[in-house]
C-alpha cells in the first residue's frame, strides 16, 4: 500500500461500480424499494457547492439504504429550460439548444468524478422533445379534465425593449437592460386551476408526517384559508347599473369602526368612473404602473383617491361612508373591495391619518386605553374584547369568538354571505419566451382555441430562430406559427407562449420511474417506484415547486398517469440550508447594482480598477449575483472523497453554511490519517494479543451513533462520531483481530461519505466483494450501556460537584452519596435541604 492517491483510487472504484452496474436500478428483486431523489439542477454549466452538498446528502442516504437491504432508485437529470440560456443567446448569439447541451455535458463532467451512486441510465433533460412532448400530451389531458383555462393577467412590460420582463429583471421598477420604467400590461394567459385544490392541498398537509414542520406551515400560510363574509354596501347613487359594492372581510366585528370603503383600480366601479373622469383615469393609471410583486405592492406608499361616491353603512341607518380607490386593494383577492376600519387595522389607520378619515373604535380591551394613537388596536385571537356597539350583547368574548359570532350575526340578518376564501391563486403558466415547452394549442378563427392532436406531438421548438432582438422569437418566426387548424383544417396560428419551467419540474420525479415510456409514465413502473421515499433539496423551494408538484401529482392521477397512492408524491422531505457567500457589489452611473466575482476582488477593492466594493455578507449563491464558488478546484486538489467529507462535516445540513476555503484541507488530512492507520493495521499480525473491551465498545457505539445520525440527517454528527472512533482506534492496544474488524467496520461506516476510500480499505482488509454491496453493520445493544455513570451534583441548579455511581444505583442511595459530598456538606453547613431532586442516570439537584 503506497501513499493516499485520491485521484487514482477514485477513478479505479468508479470504473469498478460502472462495470458491475452497481447503481443501475431495476424493478426486480425481493427487497423493498427505496426512491431517493435530489432536486435536479438547472444546467448552468458549472456545479457549485450547493449541488455538491445536496447530492452528497442524497448519496449518503442512497448508499446507506443500499447497505441496509433496499432496492434503491437514485436518478439524475436536468431542468434544462429557462431564461439564462435565452439571455445568453441574446448576449452572445449562441443558440440555447447548443449552449444547454454543452452545459449539460460540462456539468456532467464535473459531477461524475464525485462518485455519486446515480443511475445515469435514466438521465434526461426537460428540453428534450421526448420529455416535453409527454408534458404537452398531459397538458391536453388537463384541458380535457377542465384543469386548464385562459384569462387575462398582468405582466411586467418594458416599453423600450417591447418585451415582457420577469420579476427578477425588474430592478427598482425599471427594466434591467433598458432602464425604462416598467409598466403593467394585461395579456390573455394560460392557468392551471390549482385553486380548485386549495382545501385538499391544505388538508393533506396534516398527513405529510415526514416533512419539516416549517415547510408545512409555509405551505398552509401560502394557501391561506380564511373564514370571512361578503357584505354588500349600497351605493347612495348607483354607478351605471351597479347598485352595491360588495366587500369581503375577515373582521366583521370591526364594522362599527368602518370609516371608508376602498376599491381596486380594476374594480368595475373604478373602471366605469375612469371612462368619464380623467382624474380617476390618471389615478388608476398610476396604480397600474406599480410593480406586480406582492412585496412591491405591500411596501409601496398607500395611495388613495376619493371618488366622491358614498355607500350606506350596513348596520347604522343614516350613516354613509366615502368610497376611495386604493392602490393597495387587489382585484385578485376577495371582491376587489374592502371596508376600512382604522381603529383596528394598521394599514387602514395609516391611510386614515394620511387622508384625514375618522378613527372610531368598535371595541376595546378591558383594562386598557380606548383611545387609538398611532398604533391600531389589534387584539390577539385569544385576547378578550368588549364591544361598544350593537354587538355589546355578546358580553366578554375573545377576539376570535367575536369574529365568528359577528359572521353568524351578519348572515342571520341577511346582511352578508359567510364565505371561506383562500389566498392561493391559480397558477399562470404562460411565458412569452422561446426556451420552454411549447403550449400545444392552435388558435383558429373559426374554432377558437383547439388542442393539437396527440398524434402530432411533440410540438417541437423550431431551431431556426434569432435572438438579435428582445421578445419571443417564436412570435416573429416566419413559418412556425402558421399551421392548419387541427379541427377544421383551415389556416390557423400556433400558440407562441411556452410553459413556465415550474411545469417541467412538477413531474420529472414521476418520469424517472420510466424515462423512456411513450406515455408520460408507465403505470407498472410508477406503482412500483412511487412515491419518492426521500426528497432532498433547497429550502428556497419550500413553497412553489413543492406545492406545484403536489398539485401536478393529483392532476396526473385524474388523467391516469399516476396511481391513487401517489397523489402525495414525496413521502419524506428534507430541506437543506443554502450555501451562502458574500456578494461584491458596485453601482453603475444610474445607481444600479453591478455584481463582481469573488476572484475579481482584493481587500475590499476591485482588483482591476481599485474601486471600493460594497460587501453584502452571507447571501444565497446565485449566478446573477456572481457569488458562486466553484468546487472543482477542491476536488482536483484533495479528491472527491475529501470534498464529500468536507461539505457534510461541521454544519448541520438543514442550516445555511457560509462558504470558507479552510476545512477542505482538514478533511483531506483526516482521510490521509485514516489511510495510514488502515495500512498500519493491515500489516499487523492477526494473532497480536491485546485488550479488546474498550475498542469493541467504541466500535459498537460508533455503529449505533453513525447509523442513527445518518437516518436522522445529522450528517455532521455522524462525521464527529467517525472522528472520535478513528481516534480511539488509532490509540488502541486491542488484539490484531479486533483492530482488523474495527478497520473494516470503520470503512463501512465511512462508505456513504467517502465511498472510494472505503472500497479501497475494504479490498485491502480482505472484505468480500464491493463495500457498496456489503451489509451494513449492526450494533450489539448490550455493549452500548456503560456500567457506571457520572452524575453532576447541582446546588440550587448550579453544578458544584459530581459522583460516579453504578448505573442502576437506587435513588435513595444516590441521594445519600450526593449529600455526603464535600460541596454539599459545605453548602448545607449543618442545615437541612429544602428539596433533593434525583433524576436517575442524569443529575442530582440539591435545593437549599
Please report, as residue ranges, which positions from 799 to 818 form the binding site for RNA (by CB under 7 A).
799-800, 802
User: Measured between alpha carbons, how far is 548 from 501 in angstroms, rounded to an integer?
Assistant: 11
Q: Where are the beta strands (DSSP E) in 371-466?
A: 384-387, 397-398, 417-422, 427-428, 430-431, 441-444, 448-451
Asked if 650 interacts with RNA (CB under 7 A), we say yes
Question: 398 or 487: whose CB is closer to RNA?
Answer: 398
Least CB distance from residue 342 to RNA, whole Å?
Answer: 16
Please report, as residue ranges, which positions from 293 to 322 form the binding site for RNA (by CB under 7 A).
293-295, 298-299
Q: How many alpha carbons lie under 13 Å from residue 156 in its C-beta half-sphere?
A: 22
Asked if 389 interacts with RNA (CB under 7 A), we say no
Least CB distance from residue 397 to RNA, whole Å?
Answer: 20
User: Measured between alpha carbons, how far is 385 from 365 in angstroms, rounded to an integer?
Assistant: 5
Question: 423 or 493: whose CB is closer to RNA?
Answer: 423
Determine the interface stretch with RNA among 160-168, 264-272, 774-782, 811-819 (rule: CB under 7 A): 160-168
Please report, as residue ranges, which positions from 533 to 562 form the binding site for RNA (by CB under 7 A).
538-545
Question: 12 or 425: whose CB is closer to RNA?
Answer: 425
CB atoms within 10 A of CB 395: 10
User: Does residue 270 contact residue 336 with C-beta atoms inside 8 Å?
Assistant: no
Please report, as residue ranges, which positions from 100 to 119 form the binding site for RNA (by CB under 7 A).
none
Options 470, 652, 694, 736; binder of RNA; rule CB under 7 A = 652
Enclosing H/E stretch for 248: strand 242-249
Determine the interface stretch with RNA among 14-22, 212-220, 360-368, 522-530 (rule: CB under 7 A): 212-220
Asked if 189 interacts with RNA (CB under 7 A), we say yes
Options 38, 59, 79, 266; binder of RNA; rule CB under 7 A = 79
Options 8, 203, 217, 396; binder of RNA; rule CB under 7 A = 217
Residues 484-513: x where in contact with RNA by CB under 7 A, - otherwise, as a string: ----------------xxx-----------
What string of DSSP letters covers 115-154? ----BGGG--BTTSHHHHHHHHHHHHHHHHTT-EEEEEEE
Least CB distance from residue 757 to RNA, whole Å?
Answer: 15
Asked if 171 interacts with RNA (CB under 7 A), we say no
Determine the interface stretch with RNA among 79-87, 391-399, 410-418, 699-707 (rule: CB under 7 A): 79-87
Least CB distance from residue 9 to RNA, whole Å?
Answer: 18
Asked if 161 interacts with RNA (CB under 7 A), we say no
Determine the interface stretch with RNA among 75-83, 108-116, 138-146, 308-316 (rule: CB under 7 A): 75-83
Please state, in angstroms and as integers, the Cα–Cα distance from residue 370 to each residue in 344, 385, 406, 426, following that order.
Answer: 11, 11, 21, 42
Asked if 17 interacts with RNA (CB under 7 A), we say no
Question: 43 or 232: whose CB is closer to RNA?
Answer: 43
Asked if 724 interacts with RNA (CB under 7 A), we say yes
Question: 106 or 543: whose CB is closer to RNA?
Answer: 543
User: Does residue 527 contact residue 565 with C-beta atoms inside 8 Å?
Assistant: yes
Least CB distance from residue 472 to RNA, whole Å?
Answer: 10
Options 213, 369, 463, 832; binder of RNA; rule CB under 7 A = 213
Please report, as residue ranges, which positions from 680 to 719 form the binding site for RNA (by CB under 7 A).
714, 716-717, 719
Quote the cell numbers at residue 604. 475590499
Asked if 430 interacts with RNA (CB under 7 A), we say yes
Please report, as residue ranges, which positions from 35 to 64 form the binding site for RNA (by CB under 7 A).
41-42
Please report, as residue ranges, which positions from 733 to 772 form the binding site for RNA (by CB under 7 A).
none
Q: Is residue 634 reached through a cis peptide bond, with omega within 30 degrees of 0 on the bond before it?
A: no
Instruction: Name the residue with cell 351605471.
Output: 240
The SS3 call for residue 60 is helix
User: Measured between alpha carbons, how far is 398 from 616 in angstroms, rounded to an integer?
Assistant: 45
Asked if 478 interacts with RNA (CB under 7 A), we say no
Question: 553 or 647: whose CB is closer to RNA?
Answer: 647
Quote the cell numbers at residue 788. 457506571
Options 454, 655, 680, 807; binder of RNA; rule CB under 7 A = 655
Enclosing H/E stretch for 262: strand 260-263
User: Measured between alpha carbons, how far is 669 from 671 in angstroms, rounded to an integer?
Assistant: 5
Q: Is residue 264 reached through a cis peptide bond, with omega within 30 degrees of 0 on the bond before it?
A: no
Q: Where are the beta strands (DSSP E) in 624-710?
A: 657-658
User: Measured between alpha carbons, how far is 578 from 541 in angstroms, rounded to an integer?
Assistant: 11
Question: 269 or 747: whose CB is closer to RNA?
Answer: 747
Question: 242 or 848: whose CB is closer to RNA?
Answer: 848
CB atoms within 10 A of CB 45: 18
Asked if 588 interacts with RNA (CB under 7 A), we say no
Asked if 431 interacts with RNA (CB under 7 A), we say yes
User: Does residue 597 contact residue 624 with C-beta atoms inside 8 Å?
Assistant: no
Asked if 427 interacts with RNA (CB under 7 A), we say yes
Per-residue 3-state assignment (H helix, E strand, C coil) for 474-502: HHHCCCCCEEECCCCCCEEEECCCEECHH
Per-residue 3-state assignment (H helix, E strand, C coil) for 817-837: HHHHCHHHHHHHCCCCCCEEE
Least CB distance from residue 503 to RNA, whole Å?
Answer: 10
Please report, as residue ranges, which positions from 620 to 649 form the binding site for RNA (by CB under 7 A).
620, 622, 649
Asked if 723 interacts with RNA (CB under 7 A), we say yes
Least CB distance from residue 193 to RNA, whole Å?
Answer: 12
Least CB distance from residue 781 to RNA, whole Å?
Answer: 18
By DSSP bridging, strand 417-422 and strand 225-239 are antiparallel
Please report, as residue ranges, which positions from 606 to 625 form the binding site for RNA (by CB under 7 A).
616-620, 622
Asked if 156 interacts with RNA (CB under 7 A), we say yes
Name residue 482's beta-bridge partners. Answer: 493
Length in residues, the chain: 848
User: Does residue 667 contact residue 634 with C-beta atoms inside 8 Å?
Assistant: no
Please state, in angstroms and as integers, the Cα–Cα distance from residue 63 to each residue in 41, 552, 566, 648, following that order.
Answer: 21, 29, 24, 15
Options 109, 276, 658, 786; binder of RNA; rule CB under 7 A = 658
Options 26, 188, 210, 221; binder of RNA; rule CB under 7 A = 221
Quote the cell numbers at residue 708. 442513527
Options 798, 829, 830, 832; binder of RNA; rule CB under 7 A = 798
Please report, as residue ranges, which positions from 321 to 350 form the binding site for RNA (by CB under 7 A).
none
Asked if 847 interacts with RNA (CB under 7 A), we say yes
Question: 387 or 753: whose CB is closer to RNA?
Answer: 753
Asked if 218 interacts with RNA (CB under 7 A), we say yes
Please report, as residue ranges, which positions from 222 to 241 form the binding site for RNA (by CB under 7 A).
222, 224
What DSSP designation does 303 have? -
- Residue 160, Cβ density class (10 Å: 0-12 exposed, 13-18 middle, ≥19 buried): middle
Asked if 837 interacts with RNA (CB under 7 A), we say yes
Asked if 423 interacts with RNA (CB under 7 A), we say yes
Per-residue 3-state assignment (H helix, E strand, C coil) for 784-802: CCCCEEEEEEEECCEEEEE
Question: 279 or 658: whose CB is closer to RNA?
Answer: 658
Q: What is the dihedral of CA 780, 782, 786, 791, to 10 degrees?
A: 110
User: Measured between alpha carbons, how far is 499 from 82 in angstroms, rounded to an integer?
Assistant: 10
Quote the cell numbers at residue 115. 462518485
Closest CA to 249 of 231, 264, 270, 225: 231
User: Measured between alpha carbons, how far is 363 from 361 in angstroms, rounded to an integer?
Assistant: 5
Closest CA to 660 of 634, 622, 623, 640: 634
Least CB distance from residue 104 to RNA, whole Å?
Answer: 12
Determine the interface stretch with RNA among 9-17, 397-405, 735-743, 791-799 (rule: CB under 7 A): 791-799
Question: 249 or 845: whose CB is closer to RNA?
Answer: 845
Q: Residues touching RNA: how many (CB under 7 A)?
A: 100
Amino acid at each position: 500500500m503506497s501513499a493516499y492517491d485520491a485521484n487514482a483510487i477514485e477513478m479505479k472504484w468508479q470504473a469498478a461500480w460502472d462495470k458491475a452496474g452497481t447503481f443501475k436500478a431495476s424493478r426486480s428483486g425481493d427487497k423493498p424499494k427505496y426512491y431517493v431523489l435530489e432536486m435536479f439542477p438547472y444546467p448552468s454549466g458549472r456545479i457549485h457547492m450547493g449541488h455538491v452538498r445536496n447530492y452528497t446528502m442524497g448519496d449518503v442516504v442512497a448508499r446507506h439504504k443500499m447497505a441496509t437491504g433496499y432496492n434503491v432508485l437514485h436518478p439524475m437529470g436536468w431542468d434544462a429550460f429557462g431564461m439564462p440560456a435565452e439571455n445568453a443567446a441574446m448576449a452572445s448569439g449562441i443558440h440555447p439548444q447548443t449552449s444547454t447541451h454543452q452545459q449539460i455535458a460540462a456539468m456532467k463532467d464535473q459531477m461524475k468524478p464525485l462518485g455519486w451512486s446515480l443511475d445515469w441510465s435514466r438521465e434526461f433533460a426537460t428540453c428534450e422533445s421526448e420529455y416535453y412532448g409527454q408534458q404537452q400530451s398531459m397538458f391536453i389531458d388537463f384541458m380535457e379534465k377542465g384543469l386548464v383555462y385562459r384569462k387575462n393577467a398582468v405582466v411586467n412590460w418594458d416599453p423600450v425593449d417591447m418585451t415582457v420582463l420577469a420579476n427578477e429583471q425588474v430592478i427598482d421598477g425599471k427594466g434591467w437592460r433598458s432602464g425604462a420604467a416598467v409598466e403593467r400590461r394585461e395579456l390573455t394567459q394560460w392557468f392551471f386551476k390549482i385553486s380548485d385544490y386549495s382545501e385538499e392541498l391544505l388538508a393533506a398537509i396534516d398527513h405529510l408526517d415526514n416533512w419539516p414542520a416549517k415547510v408545512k406551515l409555509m405551505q398552509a400560510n401560502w394557501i391561506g384559508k380564511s373564514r370571512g363574509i361578503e357584505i354588500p354596501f349600497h351605493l347612495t347613487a348607483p354607478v351605471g347599473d351597479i347598485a352595491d359594492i360588495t366587500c369581503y372581510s375577515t373582521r366583521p366585528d370591526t364594522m362599527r369602526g368602518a370609516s371608508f370603503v376602498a376599491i381596486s383600480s380594476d374594480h368595475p366601479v373604478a373602471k366605469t368612473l375612469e371612462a368619464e373622469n380623467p382624474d380617476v383615469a390618471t389615478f388608476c393609471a398610476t396604480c397600474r404602473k406599480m410593480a406586480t410583486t406582492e412585496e412591491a405592492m405591500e411596501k409601496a406608499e398607500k395611495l388613495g383617491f376619493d371618488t366622491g361616491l358614498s355607500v350606506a353603512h350596513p348596520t347604522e341607518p343614516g350613516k354613509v361612508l366615502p368610497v376611495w380607490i386604493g392602490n393597495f386593494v387587489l382585484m385578485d383577492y376577495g371582491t376587489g373591495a374592502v371596508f376600512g376600519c382604522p381603529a383596528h387595522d394598521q394599514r387602514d389607520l395609516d391611510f386614515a391619518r394620511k387622508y384625514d378619515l375618522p378613527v372610531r373604535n368598535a371595541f376595546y380591551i378591558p383594562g386598557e386605553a380606548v383611545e387609538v394613537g398611532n398604533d391600531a388596536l389589534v387584539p390577539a385571537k385569544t385576547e378578550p374584547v368588549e364591544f361598544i356597539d350593537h354587538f355589546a350583547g355578546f358580553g366578554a368574548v375573545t377576539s376570535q369568538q367575536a369574529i365568528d359570532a359577528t359572521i353568524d350575526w351578519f348572515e342571520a340578518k341577511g346582511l352578508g354571505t359567510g364565505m371561506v376564501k383562500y389566498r392561493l391563486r391559480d397558477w399562470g403558466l404562460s411565458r412569452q419566451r422561446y426556451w420552454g415547452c411549447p403550449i400545444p394549442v392552435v388558435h383558429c378563427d373559426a374554432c377558437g382555441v383547439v388542442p393539437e392532436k396527440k398524434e402530432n406531438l411533440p410540438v417541437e421548438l423550431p431551431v431556426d430562430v434569432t435572438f438579435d432582438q428582445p421578445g419571443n422569437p417564436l412570435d416573429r418566426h416566419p413559418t412556425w406559427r402558421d399551421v392548419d387548424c387541427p379541427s377544421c383544417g383551415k389556416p390557423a396560428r400556433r400558440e407562441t407562449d411556452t410553459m413556465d419551467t415550474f411545469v417541467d419540474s412538477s413531474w420529472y420525479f414521476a418520469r424517472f420511474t420510466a424515462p423512456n415510456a411513450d406515455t408520460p409514465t408507465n403505470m407498472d413502473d410508477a406503482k412500483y417506484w412511487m412515491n419518492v421515499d426521500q426528497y432532498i433539496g433547497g429550502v428556497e423551494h419550500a413553497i412553489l415547486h413543492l406545492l406545484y408538484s403536489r398539485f401536478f401529482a393529483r392532476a396526473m392521477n385524474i388523467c391516469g398517469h399516476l396511481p391513487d397512492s401517489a397523489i402525495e408524491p414525496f413521502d419524506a422531505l428534507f430541506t437543506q440550508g443554502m450555501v451562502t457567500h458574500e456578494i461584491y457589489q458596485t453601482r453603475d452611473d444610474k445607481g444600479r447594482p453591478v455584481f463582481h466575482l469573488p476572484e475579481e476582488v482584493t481587500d475590499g477593492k476591485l482588483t482591476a480598477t481599485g474601486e471600493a466594493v460594497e460587501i453584502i455578507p452571507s447571501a444565497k449563491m446565485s449566478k446573477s449575483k456572481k457569488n458562486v464558488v466553484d468546487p472543482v478546484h477542491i476536488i482536483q486538489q484533495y479528491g472527491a472523497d475529501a470534498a464529500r467529507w468536507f461539505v457534510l462535516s461541521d454544519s448541520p445540513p438543514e442550516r445555511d453554511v457560509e462558504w470558507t476555503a479552510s476545512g477542505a484541507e482538514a478533511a483531506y488530512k483526516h482521510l490521509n490519517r485514516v489511510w495510514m492507520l488502515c495500512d498500519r493495521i493491515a500489516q499487523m499480525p492477526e494473532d497480536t494479543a491485546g485488550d479488546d473491551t474498550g475498542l469493541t465498545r467504541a466500535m459498537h457505539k460508533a455503529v449505533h451513533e453513525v447509523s442513527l445520525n445518518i437516518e436522522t440527517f445529522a450528517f455532521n454528527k455522524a462525521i464527529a462520531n467517525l472522528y472520535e472512533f478513528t481516534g480511539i482506534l488509532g490509540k488502541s492496544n486491542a488484539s490484531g483481530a479486533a483492530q482488523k474488524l474495527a478497520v473494516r467496520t470503520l470503512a463501512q461506516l465511512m462508505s456513504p461519505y467517502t465511498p472510494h476510500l472505503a472500497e479501497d480499505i475494504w479490498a485491502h482488509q480482505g472484505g468480500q466483494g464491493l463495500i457498496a454491496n456489503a451489509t451494513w453493520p449492526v450494533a450489539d445493544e448490550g455493549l452500548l450501556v456503560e456500567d457506571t455513570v457520572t452524575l453532576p451534583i447541582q446546588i440550587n441548579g448550579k453544578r458544584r460537584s459530581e459522583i460516579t455511581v453504578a448505573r442502576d444505583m437506587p435513588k435513595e442511595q444516590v441521594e445519600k452519596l450526593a449529600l455526603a459530598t464535600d460541596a454539599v456538606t459545605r453548602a448545607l453547613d449543618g442545615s437541612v435541604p429544602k428539596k433533593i431532586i434525583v433524576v436517575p442516570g442524569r443529575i442530582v439537584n440539591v435545593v437549599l
